[in-house]
Amino acid sequence: MSEDPVVKTVNPVKIYQNGDVPVPAVRGVDLQVEAGEFVAVMGPSGSGKSTLVHMLGGLDQRTSGEIWISGKRADTLSESKWALLRRRGVGFVFQFFNLIGNMTVADNVELPALLAGASPREARQRREFLLGELGLAARADDPPARLAGGEQQRVALARALAHEPSLLLADEPTGNLDTRNTRDVLRLLSQVHKKGQTIIMVTHDHRAASCADRVISLLDGQIVDDAPIPAARRGPRRNAGDVIELRG
Ligand SMILES: Nc1ncnc2c1ncn2[C@@H]1O[C@H](COP(=O)(O)OP(=O)(O)O)[C@@H](O)[C@H]1O
Ligand SMILES: [Mg+2]
């Protein structure tokens, strides 16, 4: 097994061009995430959180700097090589779940596993496990459009985990969910994390962030804080209405 960090960045910068006006979104976020870590990324709207995770998944090109995934230089990859890397090793959950409308829920979840080389039987078992954990077993044969928003988001999470990626990137995965759906999503994230899943999750929600081992705070495209969460304060509260203050 390799000792390389799952993610390592060296002074990555992303500057969007808004007409003639440069908009710096990420300004040198040096980051290292080890295998098995669960990192929450917080910060106000516009602080560069989405841009950062998009760059880590190859969905946005960096303007300068380096991105390394599991010891391999990734920022210089072509789009097709990035697609291959994502198919093998990176799962993505977005705030607005891009499910495939003309496939059943079951097929949406199995597809990434099949693309990554799982046998149909393995893909089906993995799908049954994930949908079961998320309380969605009964919806397997439905098209996504028949599901409520919270259910669709849980399907999107199952899909992102179907191929057992080395890295799960989640951009506000509970952003549109009510308390109960949020709790189901956080429970599955905590569970796969306990089994060793590396996770980087953008969130506004202190309760969601408290499931992580470590919280990185962004402001204006830079890290202003990077702190471990003490184990005693970690994990979703039983009373899901509580908000956990991360620091005193
Ligand atoms: N495609 C884009 N074109 C121009 N500016 C963008 C684009 N995407 C994001 N930005 C700008 O980059 C900054 C960071 O955005 P974003 O990464 O979405 O922040 P966050 O996810 O923290 O809300 C913001 O100022 C935003 O307006
Ligand atoms: Mg965002």
Q: What is the pLDDT of residue 236?
A: 59
pLDDT in tens, 97-156: 678 889 999 999 999 999 888 999 999 999 999 999 888 999 999 999 999 888 898 899
The structural domains of the chain, with segments of one domain joined by +, span: 36-58+78-215+222-230
Q: For ligand 1, atom 3, name the residue with the nearest CA.
A: 16
Q: Which of 229, 204, 203 minimizes the C-alpha distance to 215?
A: 229
CA atoms within 13 A on the CB side of 149: 12
Q: How many helices (H) and strands (E) does the chain have?
A: 7, 11
- pLDDT per position as a tens digit, 231-243: 767 765 444 434 4
Alpha-carbon span 229 to 39, nearest angstrom: 10
CB 177 within 8 A of CB 169: no
pLDDT of residue 98: 76
What's the pTM value of the predicted model, to 2 decimals?
A: 0.89
CA-CA distance, 12 to 160, in Å (whole number)? 25
CA of residue 78 to ligand 2 center, whole Å = 24
Residue nearest to atom 17 of ligand 1 (CA): 48
CB 143 within 8 A of CB 111: no
Nearest residue to 95 (alpha-carbon basis) of 162, 157, 180, 139: 157
Q: Is 177 in the pocket of ligand 1 (CB under 6 A)?
A: no
Beta bridge partners of 91: 168
CATH homologous superfamily of 36-58+78-215+222-230: P-loop containing nucleotide triphosphate hydrolases (3.40.50.300)
- What is the torsional sign of CA 48, 49, 50, 51? positive
Q: pLDDT tens, 168-200?
A: 999 999 887 888 888 888 988 998 999 999 999
